[in-house]
Structure 1
């Protein structure tokens, strides 16, 4: 089992953005020592409780503070940017940290229509241009491309498309790049997405398929301990979906909140996007999903309130598969 981290840099209440960033670097160093292979950063805008808005900068910061950990983006919002500019940033990172850069890109608008427009410098909605921009990005990264972005490093970073179903998987396969399925967003199409990617893969940018999945996991000392820790993540995710204050609440605050039946049902539904339990339960469920998806490479998200408990959850997960 290959394990990595996908970090949205969820900000706990009472903790500043600066402190959250410091903790992120500390966590990256901690998981590297545990044996995690990679550390990826999301890109979010106009979300009060998510600090990761520039994955390229965080990739550089973490790579500079670690020695072997691969760093990546999960993912750069390609429709909003120049594919050439994205390629130059990736090559610059590759020049700084050869062999440690992994580039994940996605189709998301990044926030509201106003935010999307600001990111795209006022251009009209470019989401439909994503496939062509992805093809352009590949051309700028290839050694044999007519126009190659600078600096011209010996090797290009590995490239992945992020997606939630068969369409994104087919596109990644046909273009011959890697694919990451977002189980933590949509837990319903993982098997089909991975099957589609394998069936549609053509040897182009990559010689062989490279597939991963991303999922929320909290591993406690026991099932009961994990359920207690997960309460803060449950409420945080509900608030993200409702557009409310998306800083992570403490367990005490989360327990004290009143929820309507519809909100309780939504939190139960969201648990399908997660694995919550003690070591035995976490290992069994992750192995079952790995078998179902035919995927043994996972990016783990853990957005609980307590930082030390968060570190221990990552430790327990690694110990299950060491």
Structure 2
């Protein structure tokens, strides 16, 4: 029997060619309100820096902006790149968000810098804190929320902010399992180790005060439209940005191009095929069949959907089509 599960939204606040950050933020609010109406569970934003096409660098600020413009949907970070920050600062930021929007804030934590090394130095000039210190930073952050940090986190102590571990490798899976926390895998852009990571997390999971059994959320790309042909045309904006990023030339989200995939040389085509292994592109029927097969195969508990379409109205339409597969709230 087919499984129906909750869906969430991952928004990078994409900046379009010809657009700017202010426009991007307006479209994020429109999408969050649309997702809330459709019954999506969460609206997460991700920390990236130095990217001309991504406006979500000040992630906690944007989370507050989105939470203030919506009523019920959970809003959070997917995620905060903890090596860039002091755990105390993140405890204070998300303690503040929890005080403003109680019961609606999530905190996903990643150990990558979300940038290149030059940008990482600009973010945190003392790089003595190696990403391998991530488990200690997570523990320290959670101590602040529990009121057991080396100094009081005000706001922060006593905040009831669910913490998630994010990952694209086996490292995060092991940490989430050891801490008894929910786990989100970045299969929407780094699918290679998804199956191994999820299996490891489920096998090693230790129940905790936070969670009594494993809970897995997977990233998934969805480009849905009235026809398969239109969906593939809309997806070409994202596909262009993927190739640009992977070749070291990140760009603002470009306008769609007819026949883009067919124009790629074999190496670039292979790269794109790998990245979009967890992707559904097509009409409502095509997307439904592709997504349902993925849900049934992975036994995932929740999907978080990414969709970078140049036309904001078409992006809203895509999320609307995808919502038809979601379990009732």
TM-score above 0.5: yes
> Do the aligned residues in 1 keep the contact of 2:91 with 2:156 (CA within 8 Å)?
no
Residue of structure 1 aligned with 2:223, choices 218, 222, 239: 218
1:1-322 → structure 2 map (5 Å cutoff)? 1-124=5-128, 126-143=130-147, 149-151=153-155, 155-208=159-212, 209-252=214-257, 255=260, 259-321=264-326
Q: Give the root-mean-square deviation of aligned CA atoms.
A: 2.1
> Do the aligned residues in 1 keep the contact of 2:164 with 2:184 (CA within 8 Å)?
yes
> Do the aligned residues in 2 keep the contact of 1:178 with 1:211 (CA within 8 Å)?
yes
SS at match of 1:84: helix
> Do the aligned residues in 2 keep the contact of 1:235 with 1:254 (CA within 8 Å)?
no
CA distance 1:32–1:153, shift in 2 (3 Å): farther
> Do the aligned residues in 2 keep the contact of 1:43 with 1:53 (CA within 8 Å)?
yes
Q: Could you tell me how far apart the structure 2 residues matched to 1:157 and 1:259 are?
A: 44
CA distance 1:256–1:140, shift in 2 (3 Å): closer
Q: Could you tell me how far apart the structure 2 residues matched to 1:101 and 1:85 are?
A: 16
Comparing 115-124 with 56-65, greater Cα deviation is found at 115-124
Q: Could you tell me how far apart the structure 1 residues matched to 2:157 and 2:83 are?
A: 25
Give the drift of 1:296: 3.0
> For this pair of structures, how many residues does the alignment match?
322
Q: Could you tell me how far apart the structure 2 residues matched to 1:91 and 1:205 are?
A: 19
Give the drift of 1:316: 0.4
Structure 2, unmatched stretches of 5+, are none
Q: Could you tell me how far apart the structure 1 residues matched to 2:156 and 2:301 are?
A: 33
Q: Could you tell me how far apart the structure 2 residues matched to 1:102 and 1:254 are?
A: 39
CA distance 1:137–1:256, shift in 2 (3 Å): closer
CA distance 1:118–1:25, shift in 2 (3 Å): same
CA distance 1:286–1:310, shift in 2 (3 Å): same
TM-score by length of 1: 0.93
- Which stretches of structure 1, 4 residues or longer, exceed 6 Å deviation after superposition? none
Give the drift of 1:92: 0.8
CA distance 1:257–1:286, shift in 2 (3 Å): closer
Structure 1, unmatched stretches of 5+, are none
